[in-house]
Structure 1
């Protein structure tokens, strides 16, 4: 029977079918190739980190990795660390801004202030701000309202608790030498809180103002070992970077001392009490992730630490002949022997 429709078993139709299939397959592979190439050429975000020390900045990098970011693959992170020389902050910030970053990270209030002064449009994430509201980085902790958000270490009661810890170890303390960086925007607030705590415990204050690394030896020279004196280290990136030098000075003058982060005790200071700085840096990566995914800094509440750690260095306690009460040892999160 004749028909206008050829059989599907026709060799010619089979050949055409194969050609169509192979052609479609080729187009599919080509499309996938173009998609992969487009994905590879998609612009990767650039984050500029103005940091105190590279050691702490690594915790931020670990936080990014846990969120799926790989530096050099799907994100670029440029680090510029002051390493205790806070006067370098403006130059380091300018270097970062020349790179046209999508987001900036500031490690401490002096460095955050440099970034805030430099831009009101690029999002800024704080890793450990001492007073973001008082320094006018944000309108409020709950609703920042500007281009800045992140993590704060603000906790006004910490000065009193640190002084109480010193009095527990050395009850005879009658004078407290307070180390302050006058260039830190939080210096006045920290000093007021320390003065209030000292008054409540009947302790006199002696304030040592150290604005830069070059001032350490001059400030401490000739101080000698005053009886019943302890050293209180205010929160500041300069002191964090110079903690080993401060520990040597405290030991040379046989002064029990307390710092604001565990790194001080690890490097020879008698005690440290405060929030974990690596944990704060790690947490800052979450803010970076949210902002890169579209969240606005103005709408992201500033977080405050809820956990504080006590670290005691028993090796340091032996030098001035101090005995750490057992009641304090059982409270410690870590004891360095």
Structure 2
């Protein structure tokens, strides 16, 4: 979906009917109504929508033939509840929410419409599911294993920056969940001084890195949150401008310029979410579909950023890397 078309959809979203009429294909069969709840109206969300729709099409859900896609995306986070309500009132057969916050808002409003979250760092902690193996309700999806991988990311950053003794954790206070304590624990195990710093808006990111540079911080890690995903390129630019080695949580962040990242490929998660939606549309219950945890983790290192920061990445790290950006 091109940006122009995506923004056109945004402009027309309010005009879409709140109660979609049942449709039939040319053989008289029913058309699956699939609600897609995106985190925002950015080009990054547009790209994720493209991947998701393509993955569903590969499974046989073709717009106007076998499926009706009802895409909603707020301009501001508080609108997530409004658009979740619209999808529910439109009587969709399933809601695929790219963000865990969108899934949470949808769950608050319905206990009957199936919901698939594409990624969540703490689906149990925020109340999306009762457990990973037995979700126990109308919600299932894919876990980012946020807490389990925090210590690994910090250890990788310490390996890349051996002299690091102080690390700062950047987070959006609106959607922190339980990650702060896990970051503190990981830093303590590595013997690092730890400092959290709030970045409530994108405009505060550069200011935060300027502050880190002035107080001698030697490394930074960032929260697994929607704003941080959206602002990956801005974070990378600010980190580089102020000379702060920073680790991210998915390979795209290193492609945007962060020194390194370790985690899941978000594109693959979108494809897997489409498979979950397909199973539900064929009769499976979310309560019976265990939350999937990542099976493939990727370490990405940006050597261009390393050179600009004056760092020499240790050979073992380079050998372990799945992707090297030069």
Q: Distance in 2 between matches of 1:38 and 1:132?
A: 36
More moved, 147-156 vs 208-217: 208-217
Q: Distance in 1 between matches of 2:69 and 2:323?
A: 33
Q: Distance in 2 between matches of 1:43 and 1:213?
A: 44
Q: Which runs of 5 or more structure 1 residues have no equivalent in the other structure?
A: 1-36
Matched, 1:183 2:174: yes
Q: Distance in 2 between matches of 1:167 and 1:217?
A: 23
CA deviation after TM superposition for structure 1 residue 295, in Å: 1.1
Q: Distance in 1 between matches of 2:91 and 2:274?
A: 19
Q: 1:162-241 counterparts in 2 under 5 A?
A: 162-184=153-175, 187-217=176-206, 219-220=208-209, 222-241=211-230
| 1:88-123 Cα distance to aligned partner (Å, 9 max, x none) | 322332343343311111112222111111211111
Tell me, yes or no, if the aligned pair for 2:265 and 2:298 is still in contact at 8 Å: yes
CA deviation after TM superposition for structure 1 residue 257, in Å: 0.5
| 1:30-87 Cα distance to aligned partner (Å, 9 max, x none) | xxxxxxx97444331111111232222322223212212212221122222357x433
Q: Distance in 2 between matches of 1:95 and 1:216?
A: 33
Tell me, yes or no, if the aligned pair for 1:48 and 1:101 is still in contact at 8 Å: yes
TM-score by length of 1: 0.83
Tell me, yes or no, if the aligned pair for 2:165 and 2:192 is still in contact at 8 Å: yes
Partner of 2:138: 147
Instruction: Work out which of the residue numbers 50, 62, 66 in structure 2 matches 1:70.
Output: 62
Instruction: Work out which of the residue numbers 205, 226, 232 in structure 2 matches 1:243.
Output: 232
> Cα distance 1:188–1:127, how it changes in 2: closer, same or farther (>3 A)?
closer
Matched, 1:262 2:251: yes
CA deviation after TM superposition for structure 1 residue 318, in Å: 1.2
| 1:256-287 Cα distance to aligned partner (Å, 9 max, x none) | 00111111101111111001111111101111
Q: Which aligned segments of 4 or more residues in structure 1 are displaced greater than 6 angstroms?
A: none
RMSD, matched Cα: 2.0
> Cα distance 1:210–1:155, how it changes in 2: closer, same or farther (>3 A)?
closer
Matched, 1:276 2:265: yes
Tell me, yes or no, if the aligned pair for 1:46 and 1:78 is still in contact at 8 Å: yes
Q: Which runs of 5 or more structure 2 residues have no equivalent in the other structure?
A: 1-23, 40-44
CA deviation after TM superposition for structure 1 residue 147, in Å: 0.5
| 1:273-324 Cα distance to aligned partner (Å, 9 max, x none) | 0011111111011111111111111111111112110011111111111111
Partner of 1:42: 29
